[in-house]
Structure 1
C-alpha cells in the first residue's frame, strides 16, 4: 500500500504539533487553527478567494457535524435548570446519596453505570442519562464536576466504545479491513480492552484523589442554577415526588425503546434529546403555571446560550482537524493525490511503510497508526485503516492479525473516540459544565500510561 506524502501533509503535521504545543502550555489555539486552515487551502488551491472561502466553509462543516451534539446538550442543560429550580432534582437524586457518599464511590459508581449503558447504546446518549441524574449527587459527595466528566469519559468513550462488545460496529469495521472473522477481533481485544481500561481508570483515580487532597482548584463553566426563583415553592412536595419518580421511568422507557428498536448512536441521542425537551416543557408549565409558555422559551434560550458558549472555542479546532479526513474534499476540494485516503490515513500508511518489520515494532506501529487516525476526533474513521495495516504486518511478520487489529482499534477509539481530542470530549464536558480542553489535559497522562502498558501487553500476545 503506497501513498504520496505531499506538502499538504507536512503542513498538516506541522500545525498538529503547533496545536498540541499550545494546548500543553495552556494557550488558546483558535488563531493557530485558523492559520492552519488558510495555509492548507492556500497551498492546495493557490487562490486567495478560494482560501478565504474555505475558511468560512470549514466552520460551516464543523458546526454541521457538531450540531446534533450541541442541540442535545443545550436541551439537557435547559431541562436540568428547571429540575433544579423546582426542587425535582433534589428529590430525584436522594436515593443515590445512600450509595455515593464520598469521592471514591462517586467516581467508580458513575463510571461503571456509564460503561454499562454505553455498551448497549454508545456513550453520547449515556452521557445525557448519567450526567443529568448522577452529577449533582457526585458533586455533593465531594467529587469535582471535572472528576465526574473524567469518570464518564474513560468508562464510556474509552472502555465501552473501544471494546464495543455488544453493538460490535467497531470490531466489524476492523475485522472486514483485516480480512478476518469478527469473533477473532473480539476475542483478541478482551485482554487489551481490560488492560487499557484498568490501567487508565486506576491511574486517573489516583491522580484525581491526589489533586483533591492537595485542594487544587478545578475549573468550571457550569451555568449557575441558583436564582432568586429557586427559593420559591414552585411545586408541592407531592408533585415533586411524583415527577422525580416519573422522569427516571420515562428515561428508562427510552432505554427499553432503544434496546427493542435497536436504536444506536445518533438515533438514540435524538430519542433522549426529544424526551428531555418534552420533560422540560411539561415540567415548566406545571411549575410556572400561567407563565409556563414564556418560561419554557427562556429555559431553552439559556440552554442554547450555554451550549454555544461551550462549543464556540471548539469549532475552529474541529474545523481544522476535519480537514484530516473526508472533510478536506467537502471544504477545500479534490486537491489530494488520487490514491489518497485522507491526510491522517495517508500519514498512518506512510508510518507503516517506513518502520522495520518485527513483532515489537509492529505493535508500536499499530499504536501510532491508531493515534494518528484518531486525531480527527471520530475514532471510527481510521479503524479500517488500522485493520488493513494489521493484515499487512501479520502477513510480513507472521504474527496474529487479530491482536494487531484489536490494538489499532483500541488505540484509535481511546484517542479519537472521546478521551484526548477536545471536541470529542464535548458531550461529557458540557453535561458536567467543565472546559473540554482542561478535561483533555487531565486525561492525557492516564491515557498515555494506558497506551504504553497496553502496547507492551500486545507485544507478548503476538
Structure 2
C-alpha cells in the first residue's frame, strides 16, 4: 500500500527528532511539544482559533488517557504512606531482608519476581504489587530507587510484555496482521525475547553497578512529608503484625481472582487500585482512630499531589505523541488523507517502501518500524503494522515471516510498552519515586544495545 506523506507527516517527524534531541541533551521538552502540537494544528486547520484550541484539547485527551494510571499510582502512594507511618511496612518487609542483602540480589530478585508476575497479569498491576513491598527492602540493601525502577521496568514492561507468552495479546495482534498462526509467532519470538532480555538486563546491571561504585547521584522525586502522629495514635505491635500478615494475603487473593476471572490490563489494575483504597481506609482508621476520617482524606490528597507532580511534565509530551495515532482526529479533526492509518503508521509504511529488499535490510527495517510505531507510548497500537510489513518483506525476499513478525513485536513493545517512552514507564517511576525522564535516559543505552544485538541474531534466524 502506497502512502502519500503530507506536510503534516513531515512536521510530526521533525518534532519527533527535535524531542529526542532535547531528551538526549537533558533539556525539558514541554515547550517543544507544545510548539509541535500548535504547528500540526496550524498546518491542518489554517485557523488561529482552532490551532490554539487544539493545544487545550490535546492536554485533555492526554490526561483522559493517562487518568487510570494517575489514579492507581496516587492511591498506591497514599496507601504506602500509611503503611510506613503505622509501622506495618517495617513488619512486612522484614522477611525479604534475609534474601535481599545487597544491590545485586535486590536487582535480580525484584526483576525476576516482576517478570514472573507480569507474564500472568501484565506489568502495571505487578508494579503496584511488588514496588510497594520490596522498594524499601531494596533501598536498605543499597540499590537506589532508580535501580529498582530499572529492574521492574526491564523485566516487566520489557521481557514479559514483549513475549506475552501466557496472555498472548501481543502475538495475536502481530500474527493476525501477518496471516500466521499465533503459535508460530510465539515460537519464533522465544530466542529473540531471550536475547533482548539477557543483553538488556545485564547491560543495565553493569551500568548501574558502575554508577553505584562511582557514587553517582540517583535523583528522586520528593515525596510528600508524612503526617506527624501523636503518641496515642500508633498501632499496637500485635495490630501491626496482624495487618502485615493480612495485607499480603489480600493482595494474593487479588492475584488468584485475576487468574480465575481472567482479569487483564485495566481490569487487573482496577482490582489492585480498589484493594489498595480499602486497605488505606481501614489502616488509617485503625492507626489514627478518632481522626481516621479526616486523615484518610489527607493521605489521598498527598497521593494525588505526588501523582500529578510526577505526571505533570509527561502530559505535554504525551499530548504530542497521541497525535501520531487515533488522537489526531479527536484533537484536531479529520485532516489526514483517507488512506491514512495514523501519522506513526504512515511513516512506518513509508519507511518499508523506501528500503532495498534484502534479508539484512528486512530485519533492520522491521526493528526500525517497531521502534517508530512504539513512539506513541502504547506498544500495542503499531505492532499490527509490524506484522503486515513482515508479511510483505517475507513474500518479497523469501524469508521467515514469523521471525520478522516477532522482531517487530519485540522492538515495538520494548520501546513503546514502557522502557523508553517516559509516559509509558510512569507506573514503575511513580511507585519508586523517580523522574520518568531520568528512568528513560538510564534505559536508553541498555535497550539500544539489546535492539542491535537482537536484530543481528534475527538476521541468522530468518
Compute the TM-score of the two structures, normalised by the length of structure 2. Answer: 0.99
CA offset at residue 222 of structure 1?
3.9
* 1:86–1:230 Cα contact (<8 Å) kept: no
Q: Tell me, in whole angstroms, the C-alpha distance in 2 between the residues paired with 1:229 and 1:18.
A: 49
CA offset at residue 256 of structure 1?
0.3
Q: Tell me, in whole angstroms, the C-alpha distance in 2 between the residues paired with 1:111 and 1:233.
A: 37
1:439 and 2:439 correspond: yes
CA offset at residue 25 of structure 1?
1.0
* 1:111–1:156 Cα contact (<8 Å) kept: yes
In the TM superposition, 1:214-363 aligns within 5 A as 214-224=214-224, 228-229=228-229, 234-363=234-363
Residue equivalent to 1:125: 125
Q: Tell me, in whole angstroms, the C-alpha distance in 2 between the residues paired with 1:447 and 1:230.
A: 48
Q: Tell me, in whole angstroms, the C-alpha distance in 2 between the residues paired with 1:329 and 1:461.
A: 40
Q: Tell me, in whole angstroms, the C-alpha distance in 1 between the residues paired with 2:110 and 2:233.
A: 30
**Do the aligned partners of residues 232 and 5 (structure 1) sit closer, same or farther apart at CA in structure 2, a change above 3 Å counting?**
farther
* 2:161–2:413 Cα contact (<8 Å) kept: yes
Aligned length: 462
Deviation per CA, 1:126-183: give whole Å up to 9, x if none. Answer: 0000100100000110000000000000000000000000000000000000001000
In the TM superposition, 1:23-172 aligns within 5 A as 23-172=23-172
Residue equivalent to 2:453: 453
Deviation per CA, 1:170-221: give whole Å up to 9, x if none. Answer: 0000000000100000000000000000000000000000000000000000
Q: Tell me, in whole angstroms, the C-alpha distance in 1 between the residues paired with 2:321 and 2:230.
A: 42
Q: Tell me, in whole angstroms, the C-alpha distance in 1 between the residues paired with 2:310 and 2:437.
A: 11
Residue equivalent to 2:210: 210
* 1:85–1:230 Cα contact (<8 Å) kept: no
Q: Tell me, in whole angstroms, the C-alpha distance in 1 between the residues paired with 2:340 and 2:41.
A: 17
Structure 2 unmatched ranges of 5 or more: none
Q: Tell me, in whole angstroms, the C-alpha distance in 1 between the residues paired with 2:202 and 2:66.
A: 31
Cα RMSD (Å) = 0.9
Deviation per CA, 1:327-379: give whole Å up to 9, x if none. Answer: 00110111011100000100000000000000000000000000000000000
**Do the aligned partners of residues 142 and 225 (structure 1) sit closer, same or farther apart at CA in structure 2, a change above 3 Å counting?**
farther
* 2:224–2:306 Cα contact (<8 Å) kept: no
CA offset at residue 233 of structure 1?
6.1
CA offset at residue 231 of structure 1?
7.6
Q: Tell me, in whole angstroms, the C-alpha distance in 2 between the residues paired with 1:199 and 1:403.
A: 19
Residue equivalent to 2:174: 174
* Equivalent position SS for 1:3: coil
**Do the aligned partners of residues 230 and 261 (structure 1) sit closer, same or farther apart at CA in structure 2, a change above 3 Å counting?**
farther
Q: Tell me, in whole angstroms, the C-alpha distance in 1 between the residues paired with 2:318 and 2:258.
A: 29
* 1:153–1:425 Cα contact (<8 Å) kept: yes
Residue equivalent to 2:185: 185
CA offset at residue 74 of structure 1?
0.1
* Equivalent position SS for 2:75: helix
* Equivalent position SS for 1:142: coil
Structure 1 unmatched ranges of 5 or more: none
**Do the aligned partners of residues 394 and 297 (structure 1) sit closer, same or farther apart at CA in structure 2, a change above 3 Å counting?**
same
Q: Tell me, in whole angstroms, the C-alpha distance in 2 between the residues paired with 1:264 and 1:154.
A: 20
Q: Tell me, in whole angstroms, the C-alpha distance in 1 between the residues paired with 2:276 and 2:68.
A: 14
1:374 and 2:374 correspond: yes
* 1:85–1:225 Cα contact (<8 Å) kept: no
* Equivalent position SS for 1:379: coil
Q: Tell me, in whole angstroms, the C-alpha distance in 2 between the residues paired with 1:58 and 1:227.
A: 36
* Equivalent position SS for 1:10: helix
* 1:220–1:435 Cα contact (<8 Å) kept: yes
* Equivalent position SS for 1:411: helix
* 2:224–2:302 Cα contact (<8 Å) kept: no
Compute the TM-score of the two structures, normalised by the length of structure 1. Answer: 0.99
Q: Tell me, in whole angstroms, the C-alpha distance in 2 between the residues paired with 1:410 and 1:230.
A: 52
* 1:12–1:40 Cα contact (<8 Å) kept: yes
Deviation per CA, 1:18-75: give whole Å up to 9, x if none. Answer: 1111111111110000000000000000011110111110000000000000000000
Runs (4+) of structure 1 exceeding 4 A deviation are 224-227, 230-233
Structure 1 window deviating more from structure 2 (22-31 vs 222-231): it is: 222-231
